[in-house]
Amino acid sequence: MTIDLVLCGATGRLGKEILIEVGKQSNINLIGCLASKNNKNFGKKISTFIESNCELELKDSFEGISKPDVVIDVSSPEAFEDIVKFSEVNKSALIIASTGHSNEQIESLKRLSNSIPIMMVPNLSRGINFIKKLLSDNDLSAFSKKVKINEIHHKNKKDSPSGTALELEKIIEEKNKEIKISINSTRDESSIGVHSIKIIMENESIELKHEAKSRDIFAQGAISAINWIAGKTPGIYSLSDL
C-alpha cells in the first residue's frame, strides 16, 4: 500500500532527517512539505536547499495539498490548530512528534481521536519507548520513594523540561503515586538527547539511561510510525503500540 504523507516542520533538524529517510521508502509518497510563514526557503523546491531528491515546493499553508493518508508534525505548537483542522477535515491519521503543547491542545487531541487515529510521540526513539515500557510495567514504590530524571539537549531546544522528560515523569506518577520525582534540565552545544532515570533506594540505586547518538534514530522511528498508523481505526496511540 502506498501512503500519501504530509510533513509539517520539513526544514527543522528532525524534519530534514525525515525527508532524507522518506526518500528511501518506495511505499511512502510525500505530497506536501510545510514550514513556518517566515521561512526563507518558502516557495523553493526542497532539493535546492536540502540534500534530498524531493521536488516539492516548500509551503507555508495546506492550500492546494490533496488528501493525505498520514500527517506528521515535527514543527512546534504554534502550527497546531491548522494541522489539527487539516487532519480532521481529511480524516487523515495524525502523528504529533512535536512537544511543548498546552493542556488545552492535548485535550483537543483526545477529543479528535474519536474521529481519526492519533499517535503522540514526543520522542521517536525506539530505545526511549523501551524504557517507557519498563517503567509502566513495574511498580517502583515497593522499594523506592525518590526518582531523579536528568535530561540534556542542544541549546536550541525551546521547551524545558523536554516533552520526553515530562512523559517519563507522568508514566512514573501513574504507576507510583507516592514517589517524589524531580527533573533536571541541561542545555549544551552538542547533545542530541540524553535522558536518565535514577531510582534511589535506601543503600543503592538503579539508573536507566538513553543517549541518542544520531538524529537518524528519530527519522527511522518516524518511518515506523507512518507505516504503522496508516489505515488504523480512530484512537490515541503511542510508539509502544508498534
Among 157, 195, 198, 232, the one annotated catalytic: 157
Catalytic residue selected from 16, 153, 195, 210? 153
Q: Rounded to whole angstroms, how far apart are CA atoms 42 and 38? A: 8
**pTM given for the model:** 0.84
More confident residue, 73 or 101: 73
**Residue that is written with C-alpha cell 534511589 in the block:** 200
157 a catalytic residue: yes
pLDDT in tens, 168-220: 999 999 888 889 999 999 999 989 999 999 999 999 999 999 999 988 899 99
210 is catalytic: no
